[in-house]
């Protein structure tokens, strides 16, 4: 029993030291990061990955993507062009058909109901005014 009590006391003391070490006062907080002027920011990039194999075997197309130097968000209009870091969305087009839709989150793109065979999914990274900044085409073959 004395060992257990001693162990608990040491653990509690360590927790208190950890809490006080994490506490910050206004005098020891680091200054905010410098803001990069919009004109100096690197251009946005879009990276699209091949569809996930396991869902594709069931006919479900899941395309993961990531962006660099731009956040994908549901923000539109001329005023949003001044936001730093840049914000935008994706335009998604399947097989060159009309009916492009906007993807406004970083969630994967999920397609269901495509006929078996080869398909192309065009992903376009757009600014808040729908100007295309980058694009990637993902080839998809839905099994029969």
- Read off the pLDDT of residues 99-109 as tens digits, 9 standing for 90 and up: 889 999 999 99
Task: Give 56's pLDDT tier (boundaries 50, 70, 90).
Answer: very high
Give the Cα separation of 22 and 16 in Å (integer).
10
The pLDDT value recorded for residue 99 is: 83
Phi and psi (nearest 5°) for 108? -60, 155
Q: Closest Cα to residue 56, out of 96, 97, 108?
A: 108
- C-alpha pair distances (Å), 111 with each of 3, 29, 57, 105: 60, 47, 13, 15
Phi and psi (nearest 5°) for 117? 130, -170
Provide the pairing of β-strand 45-48 with 65-68.
antiparallel
Domain ranges of the chain: 38-142
Instruction: Identify the CATH class of 38-142.
Output: mainly beta
- Read off the pLDDT of residues 102-142 as tens digits, 9 standing for 90 and up: 999 999 999 999 999 999 999 999 999 999 999 999 999 99
pTM across the whole model: 0.72
Task: Find residue 135's DSSP bridge partners.
Answer: 124
């Amino acid at each position: 029993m004395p060992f257990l009590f001693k162990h608990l006391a040491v653990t509690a003391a360590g927790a208190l030291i950890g809490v006080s070490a994490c506490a910050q006062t206004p005098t020891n907080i680091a200054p905010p990061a410098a803001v990069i002027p919009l004109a100096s920011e690197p251009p946005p990039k879009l990276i699209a990955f091949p569809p996930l194999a396991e869902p594709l075997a069931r006919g479900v197309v899941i395309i993961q993507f990531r962006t660099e130097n731009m956040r994908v968000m549901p923000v539109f209009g001329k005023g949003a062009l001044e936001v730093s870091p840049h914000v935008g969305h994706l335009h998604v087009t399947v097989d060159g058909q009309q009916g492009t839709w906007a993807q406004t989150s970083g969630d994967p793109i999920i397609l269901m109901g495509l006929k078996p065979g080869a398909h192309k999914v065009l992903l376009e990274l757009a600014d808040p005014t729908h100007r295309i900044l980058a694009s990637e085409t993902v080839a998809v073959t839905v099994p029969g």
